Amino acid sequence: MAEPRIFTSPDELRAAIGEQLGYSDWLEIDQKRIDLFAEATGDHQWIHVDPEKAAAGPFGTTIAHGYLTLSLLPILSPQLMLMDNITMGINYGTNKVRFPAPLPVGSRVRATGVVTEVKDVGGPGDGIQVTLVVSVLREGQEKPVCVAESVTRYHF
């Protein structure tokens, strides 16, 4: 199991800017996960949910939705870093998201990340905003399947 880096203060986070945080565990992307995501979002495009048609398509199999890949960040990111001594953490959003490569069904992915920004938000003691650039990597492929600037606010 991946050992996340544990941060206990804003100063520790600031000191880590630019450092790679390691890797999450591998996670297999099966057709059931893709189908459940299609059901939840209403995105039933054949390249995701029709294995027979997709076999003759450009990828030779079904592929995960890009937004499914992005939605794996809550599973993968806590394996990279955890905050200790906080009263609350809030997903504030993403600055930029890209899907540089497709994610075929049956692939395994893992994440790595780099803290790129830590800034104070609000008044003193109101909290900090952390930008973590997360790359979701497919096993056996150099190009990431997702790169996202994830923004989280933490209150200590």
Q: What is the pLDDT of residues 59-99, one digit of tens each?
A: 999 999 999 999 999 999 999 999 998 989 999 999 999 99
Q: What is the pLDDT of residue 116?
A: 98
CA distances from 63 to 16, 45, 74, 89, 139 (A): 35, 10, 20, 32, 15
Count of H-run helices and E-run strands, the chain: 6, 8
How many domains, in total, are found in the chain? Answer: 1
User: Tens of pLDDT along 99-132?
Assistant: 999 999 999 999 999 999 999 997 666 799 999 9
User: Tens of pLDDT along 16-70?
Assistant: 999 999 999 999 999 999 999 999 999 999 999 999 999 999 999 999 999 999 9
Q: What is the CATH number of the domain that holds 86?
A: 3.10.129.10
- Does residue 101 lie in a domain region? yes
